[in-house]
Amino acid sequence: MPQEQKQKKKRVPITALTKQEICLKKRENLKLRDEDLAKEYGLDRSTITKILKQREKWLAIDPNSNYAKQKTQKSPKFPQIEDALSRWLSANLNNGNSVSDAQLQEKALEYAQSYGLRNEFQASNGWISKFKNRHQFRSGESQGVSEVSLQVNPQSVPIGTTVIPTQEHSNFSNTVSLPPNSHYSSNPSIATSSRTNGTNMLINASSSQHYLPYGAGTSTPLVTSFPPSRMYPLNTITPSIPENAAFIFCDYQNDVVGMFQTTNILNQFLVNSKTLFQEVHQAKQKKNISSFSVGLSFRPGYPEVSTNNRYIEKLRNTGRLTEGNKGAEFIDGMIPREDDIVIKKRRIDAFYNTDLQMILQLRNIRHIILSGIATGDVILSTCRSAADRDLNVTVVRECCFDGNESVQNVLMNELFPIQGVMVASLDDILTGLRLA
């Protein structure tokens, strides 16, 4: 075989601006084939296809930004910190506040602590500079400190499925206060601004996978997400467990675990949960904390299951989680102990038609710490139900599991913080339990 055929085709680096140009050409001429674009730009057809799949992202970039001129767009090393810091910064900009680089560094370190990354993350001056560059912020000098504002080019911002014509730009200034978490309402579709990989993007809500809180269809901006430093009550510097808190372990049952394919992620989750369970019971000897084990089960014949509840009705056909069967029992390592309170439920939410709320009230418990299966069902439902009862809620990141990794990440990194739920690392919880 000739030598040249053995060699892999050399990768052609292109800028984000070139990708935007490709998307613009395709939008202007829908009959233009990917093969034709590939030939024009000297790229593989598969590369063109990948670019066009992310057309909203590339159309939304500011062509005058440094990001647009870079030939590589690497994903950030610490995406959780990056996303949280971006939301916090956007909220400040939305309120007309200026933010210095020193404040950015301080807040970034707080987030690193809350995500259990303090030993790995340093928030150096270089990282702050790259953060602003990735997110298209510009620095300006005001009263001797470096401040941050957001650059938006109206020509590159699609709203819904349309783009503002150039002749309508006269009412826009070159620099506007448009934070990435602002939300807008338009009829018939809702446009929501977001940030993805350092770009500004408006997404048509009908096709967006973002979670929108109740009432997002109004023109009122959505609630600002709570930075971990403002969440009750774990101290991010010296973690401690609130006095008279309750640990609630949800659905650690044989049948529930058996519904998921065995993976390293599931196995590690079970190891983490058993560690937490053991540490909680050791801490109960010297701390005023309670522990609850919540399990889902039904009487034989499933008399509690309605045909209207399609989600629960699926269990009827499997024969799982019936009382008296081993499948409804708690797994080894999570079996309730003598001083634990066992809650039997018939629905996903741990509060629905159970005596959990009554026991919490009798014990004057105002803070619950949740773990269990599955994050997108049990944990989410119980979190919302607890919040509606004015309880403070913490979820333990490594002790919550969902079969869909994307759902897990969205809830832990996006939805829970927006709703004021504290997302704590297992290390922080264990440290708090071990403190005298």
- Separation CA 241–CA 246 (nearest Å): 10
pLDDT(147) > 60 = no
| CATH number given to 79-134 | 1.10.10.60
- Write down the pLDDT at residue 207: 33
Q: What's 246-435's CATH class?
A: alpha beta
- Write down the pLDDT at residue 10: 59
Q: What is the pLDDT of residues 191-218, one digit of tens each?
A: 333 333 333 332 233 333 333 332 333 3
pLDDT(161) > 50 = no
Model pTM score: 0.50
Query: Does residue 318 or residue 139 have the better pLDDT?
Result: 318
Per DSSP, what are the bridge partners of residue 295? 344
Report the share of the chain in percent with pLDDT over 90. Answer: 33
Contact between 311 and 348 under an 8 Å Cβ cutoff? The reply is yes
Residue carrying structure tokens 């973690």? 239
Report the share of the chain in percent with pLDDT over 70. Answer: 68
- Write down the pLDDT at residue 71: 61
Q: What is the pLDDT of residues 55-92, one digit of tens each?
A: 777 777 777 766 666 665 566 678 778 877 877 887 77
Q: What is the pLDDT of residues 220-265, one digit of tens each?
A: 333 333 444 333 334 333 456 888 899 999 999 999 999 888 888 9
pLDDT(313) > 90 = no
Question: Beta strand 199-204 with 191-196: parallel, antiparallel or unpaired?
Answer: antiparallel
CATH 1.10.10.60 domain residues, the chain: 79-134
CATH 3.40.50.850 domain residues, the chain: 246-435
Contact between 145 and 102 under an 8 Å Cβ cutoff? The reply is yes
- Mean pLDDT estimate for the chain: 74
Q: 102: pLDDT confidence band, cut at 50, 70 and 90?
A: confident
- Write down the pLDDT at residue 342: 96
Domain 16-68 has CATH 2.60.120: no
